[in-house]
Structure 1
Amino acid sequence: MKSLHIGMLQLFLKSSLSQIKFYILCVVALLMVFICCLVDQTAHAAIRIGWTDQVDLAKIAQVNGAYRKALGERIDWKQYNDDFQMLHDLAIEKIDFAPVGLIALTSAVTAGVQVRIIAISSQYGTGSGLVLRNQSHIDKPKSLVGKKIAVPFLTSAHYSLLKALEHWKIDFHKVQLINMPADKIEDAWKKGDIDGAYVEGITLLHFQKDGHVLVNSQQLADWGYPTYVFWVTMDNMIAAKPYYVEPFVNTTLSIIKGFNQRKDQLTPQSKDIVDVANLLKLSPEDTLTLLKGNLYIGQREQSLIFERRLPSYLGNIALFLRGLNVMNNVLSDYLIYIYPSFVGDAKIK
């Protein structure tokens, strides 16, 4: 009987040990499946990039898959009509990279958003400007006094318009500046409700059919008031995933270099131009005109801008915004929001 009890006990222990081993193996297997799922998700996580309907080189990268090839990940493109909304989504990690203008960017960093400039997407040139109706008979700056000029407030266009008036020594209070969204300006122009507008892109091309440009953003840059679109990301993206930021900047600079080398050979029939035109629902002829209406700054000059000009540039924009009473605070130094090393260290083809 005693030997029977011992035998049953040994059988029970063996059974228990077998069950324990089985449970351990199951847990290990589940953990391995879980880890594999995480790795697979990470390996196939999409990089999310904001975009607007502005015609620029980023659209070529969008249609030809340049960022996807460089980063080795799926790219999700999210369209925006407003830089402030794009920066909001960047801050809450709905997107990873965004092209934003100087006013929205300066406002965001002054408010404490930990966004970082990693490259310059483009500089506004002949593709944006102050266009006036021919019927309004405004042939010189002084004729702007008393006239109705539309512009979306707190945008690069607004900044450029005010700087133009300042250059001409015209008090902007003497001009009827109308805060109007970009998508409403064309209707106001057609109805004759405005005498002019500071606009860009296809709107500028349309208005030139019965209007004329008094000054464009390239001329303003020559006067010392350049306007840029910056590529930005959050500081935690730089800290946690520099292996995405580096190829992103490298690709951006490579596209700029390639475009500047071959822009004179591009035609409305070029594949990239046709593809961008289809994306934005424009004609290839207008697409090419608008693409060449911006300036695309190469690596060396971008490095110089980052090192020598950007901190004071952002500070001056902040002072401009405070002068308009739309921002109370101005930071003592904007250097922390500029991350130059990706441009400086870029290996471009």
Structure 2
Amino acid sequence: MNLTALLLLASDQPGPIDNGNDFWFVPAATDYADTHDWVYSVVLWLSIFFFILIVGVMVKFAFDYRRRSNFEAAGHGPTHNVALETVWTVVPLLLSAGLFLVGIDTYADFKTAPANCYEVDATAQKWAWQFDHRNGASDSLVLKVPVGQPTKVTLRSNDVLHSFFIPAFRVKQDVVPGRYGSVWFTPREAGIYQGYCTEYCGTGHSKMNFYVQAIPADEFEDVIAQDARWIDDYSGDRLVWAGARLFSRCASCHSLKPKERMTGPSMWDLHANWGKTKKIEVDGKITDVTIDENYVLESIVAPWEKIAPTYLNQMPANFGQQLGAKELDALVRFVRELDQVVDTNGELRDEPVSTTN
């Protein structure tokens, strides 16, 4: 079972909005998206109209005044026409001013969030997103928001330039290192919508995607409260399944398949070599280390300390700081006991239903 399927099975909401074979935009899911599409359509059809008009006149003139065999030089024509010059100056000026006013009004609406927004922090780093709610709930794959209530997402980057884009909401904002940015939107319907990073940020850029789950307002508070304490439902032998959930934060850089190289090493390869030694660069020198619980834990909380010779130091330095002790333990167990939760094709098995409350 892949991570997307796991997400959808865990949700009572509809699946991702299906764009089918539409040539045009994905269906609008916010009122702002409707306004955006209207402005776009006005500009597009005006451009098409004037393109056809101007090119049509050019073609007509080229045909009417083509050189003929009985060509005779014409005398001087009119030097100017006040009425015509006034029309082709005033009409484009009025159209341009009108488009500017409509555009600036739409842009101001996009940049000015209402006072009653639900607020979420989004952190971008190669090559994943981190969504942090004010109650402590956190996720790197799904941004959960309430239906019918404005949501403001405050954006920042831990490394390079990224871009936050949700097509169905028509919101896009560059995420610049050293600066804060924001977007806001109000989902109209419950569902799951696709989001992307749309600024090339390195080799893992194409995998830096996420989902937005719009949840009915009367259910949202309970869902977010549960998310803040979700790991409390896991203990003992089931803690490895908590690690499987947490691995969604790692999936853009690490594979679960044997011998599949990505930005970081395959988790299956680490598991298959558990207890064995491998060559690692420590302080500029190659040395042998044992793949065990301590090695995995240190690779999470201090990833710059020990680097495999064929890999670069690209693990986010603050990743371990985002996790509690139980979450760190769950990830270590996930690697150690990987064959219990992942099959040999690198697919997550179905999580057994807990028999405890």
**TM class by shorter-chain length?**
under 0.3
Structure number with greater CO (CA < 8 Å, separation at least 6) is: 1
